[in-house]
């Protein structure tokens, strides 16, 4: 059941929200609803893991000593500095 809600917001924020919603092909109401849904989800509620994700679990094994930040930094350096 949908119910009307009145909000009091800064005019600039409303204008930006309308522009964003238009760009995303949705409404401000749907944006607010999605945001409220996200922040009010019961923390004890568990999310069902799909069979596909379950089947992929454990497929990759990474070395314990792998430095993720260094590897990503090296990747970015190679990508942008060594063209």
Per-domain residue ranges of the chain: 1-42
Give the DSSP letter string of the chain: ----------HHHHHHHHHHHHHTTS-HHHHHHHHHHHHTS-TTPPPPPPHHHHHHTTS----TT--HHHHHHHHHHHHHH--
What tokens does 26 get? 């949705």
Q: Is the pLDDT at 83 greater than 70, yes or no? A: no
Per-residue pLDDT reduced to its tens digit, 13-44: 999 999 999 999 999 999 999 999 888 887 77
Cut 0.85: pTM above it: no
The length of the chain in residues reads: 83
Are the C-beta atoms of residues 18 and 30 closer than 8 Å to each other? no
């Amino acid at each position: 059941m949908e119910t009307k809600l009145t909000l009091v917001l800064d005019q600039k924020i409303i204008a930006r929200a309308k522009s964003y919603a238009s760009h995303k092909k949705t409404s401000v109401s749907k944006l607010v609803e999605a945001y409220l849904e996200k922040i009010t989800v019961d923390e004890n509620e568990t999310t069902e893991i799909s069979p596909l994700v379950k089947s992929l679990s454990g497929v990759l094994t990474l070395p314990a000593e792998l430095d993720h930040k260094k590897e990503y930094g090296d990747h970015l350096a190679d990508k942008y500095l060594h063209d």
